[in-house]
Amino acid sequence: MGLIILPFLLGALGIAVLAMMEILKLIKSKKITIKEIIIGFGLTLLIFAAIVISYLIEGKAWVLSPAFRIPVIMVYIPFFIYSLVKTSDNQKLKYFSILILISISITGILGIVFNDVFFELINYLGIEKNY
């Protein structure tokens, strides 16, 4: 299973690093302020809360499920949306794409720093783990 998970997680990490590099460019060009970073962090928390709620609704979690669900919902899908809307002529969509990029970057940072916290949260919430 590690042969499937490792490239999947490395791909998510690569996307997060690319997002961080793009965010740094936008910060240097003063297109991003602290306001956007706070909103992007809020978006990250909102998406993460949706993932936790999905596990609460299911009532159980496969041990390897977070290794797939979290990167897909918090990195791959947002990056796909970012790729679609970043070239839009609509200013609101461009602004939203920047918020998505910030969210991906924050997810990458928090995913590395707090890797095991999600499993502790699953235990705390009493969600059944299946092996």
The single-letter code of the amino acid at 109 is I
| Separation of alpha carbons 51 and 66, rounded Å | 9
Q: What is the pTM of this model?
A: 0.87
106 contacts: CB under 8 Å, gap ≥ 6: 40, 41, 44
State residue 127's pLDDT score: 80
91 contacts: CB under 8 Å, gap ≥ 6: none
| Separation of alpha carbons 41 and 15, rounded Å | 17
Model confidence over 10-61: pLDDT tens digits?
Answer: 999 999 999 999 999 999 999 999 999 999 999 999 999 999 999 889 888 8
Q: How confident is the model at residue 2 (pLDDT cuts 50, 70, 90)?
A: low
State residue 51's pLDDT score: 92
Q: How confident is the model at residue 4 (pLDDT cuts 50, 70, 90)?
A: confident
| Separation of alpha carbons 80 and 13, rounded Å | 15
Query: Do 122 and 51 touch, CB atoms closer than 8 A?
Result: no
Domain count, the chain: 1
| Separation of alpha carbons 128 and 131, rounded Å | 10
State residue 1's pLDDT score: 61
Model confidence over 58-86: pLDDT tens digits?
Answer: 888 887 888 889 999 999 999 999 999 98
Average pLDDT over residues 115-124: 80
Residue span of the structural domain in which 86 resides: 2-130
